[in-house]
Amino acid sequence: MSQLRRQHLIAAFDNLDLDGLLVSSETNVGYLTGFTGDSSTLIVARSQSQILSDGRFTTQLSQECPGLDAIIRPIGQPMSDAIAGVARSLGIKRLGFESHVLTVAEFESLSSAASDLTLVATQGIVETLRMIKDADEIAQIREAVQIAETSFAQLRAWLKPGVTEKAAADFLEAAMRENGATGASFPPIVAFGPNAALPHARPDPRSVLGVDDLVLVDWGATGRPYKSDLTRVLATGKVASKFESVYRAVLEAQLRAIDAIHPGVRAQVVDLAARNVITHAGYGPNFNHSVGHGIGRDVHEAPVLRSVTETELRPGMVVTVEPGIYLPGWGGVRIEDDVLVTETGCEVLSRVPKTIESTQI
Ligand code: ZN
Ligand code: ZN
């Protein structure tokens, strides 16, 4: 699998006239090798790839990356010297580097260690490959979604007036770990009432759930290591008419956006499908973020689904669809699912109920 991914990467070298690529992003190194450790750099050349690591990872590399050449850096050798040495030994003259990952200090030190090589700034080559998930990646995302779903059902059964946002977020995170996650894919958001008007609210230990309150929960699990990312809104007590009208608008927007997802459609069409519904309901300015984003090894990855994104959706992409309406002083509603683009349309991977009736706790 990893070898095939590296072959796809090499196929992208021609456009940039590269002999090799220095992969510094830990996530990208993991994607291209299967290695789950850190502090390691991969150099992919046309003929061969080598991973540069240190003595802490010798055993792990032989277990996780059989068949990949590993070079263990002697203690004290600067990474830039090691990279230059490997690049020369692989016959690389034009070495691409990930300009969105390397720091200025790392670039300067590499420039002086590799003054005989031409360093070529690249951006997002591996991230572009990562947009299309293979069967193994999709299976891992399904697992991460299932863990999130099971954990949310447990949270739902536990939630009651009197609990705090922080206690609920902690409960959810612990549940995901117990259900098989290595962790949360980001710190869970649990926001009650007016706090839900902040799309990225931080759970407050003093905010207590009331009897006629709404609860916004945005959460996800990290699996092996693929992630999930979901949002649901619940309500205690009687569903107020304002909540109902806002909720119905968001749900309709989300369903329309999901309907728009199929191969060949531009990402912006999906965003606009949701945005039109919310604008028509009178809440256009209150939907102040893009409708979704790719998900995989990172919780936010390419493609982003914005009103200006021209990227065409392709089978194998997994994206979130998460329109929302936020009313300062009142609260907010967002509904988020993870959606796989298939050959014929799409498949919603998450199945947490989202009808207005299902919001009642
Ligand atoms: Zn989310
Ligand atoms: Zn999201």
**CATH number for the domain that contains residue 149:** 3.90.230.10
At 341, the pLDDT band (50, 70, 90 cuts) reads very high
pLDDT in tens, 286-307: 999 999 999 999 999 999 999 9
Q: Quick one: tokens of 96?
A: 């691409």
- Centroid of ligand 1 to alpha carbon of 334 (angstroms): 9
- Centroid of ligand 1 to alpha carbon of 218 (angstroms): 5
pLDDT in tens, 69-100: 999 999 999 999 999 999 999 999 999 999 99
Question: Of 96, 129, 162, which marks where a domain is finished?
Answer: 129
Identify residues whose C-beta is under 5 A from ligand 2, the ion: 229, 320
Question: 44 with 124, same domain?
Answer: yes
Question: 80 with 209, same domain?
Answer: no
Measuring CA to CA, which residue among 298, 137, 285 is closest to residue 229?
Answer: 298
Q: What is the pTM of this model?
A: 0.94
Q: Which ligand is nearest to the CA of 187?
A: 1
What CATH number is attached to the domain comprising 86? 3.40.350.10
Question: 116 with 256, same domain?
Answer: no
The boundaries of the domain holding residue 123 are: 2-129
- Centroid of ligand 2 to alpha carbon of 244 (angstroms): 23
What are the DSSP calls for 183-223, one per residue?
A: EESSPPEEEEGGGGGSTTPPPPTT-B--TT-EEEEEE-EE-
Question: 169 with 33, same domain?
Answer: no
Question: Of 129, 157, 178, which marks where a domain is finished?
Answer: 129
Question: 222 with 353, same domain?
Answer: yes
Q: Which ligand is nearest to the CA of 300?
A: 2
For residue 239, pLDDT beyond 80: no
Q: Which ligand is nearest to the CA of 221?
A: 1
- What is the rounded CA–CA span in Å between residue 14 and residue 46? 10
Q: Which ligand is nearest to the CA of 293?
A: 2
Q: Which ligand is nearest to the CA of 219?
A: 1
List, in order, residues 6 or more apart from 344 with CB less than 8 Å away. 262, 263
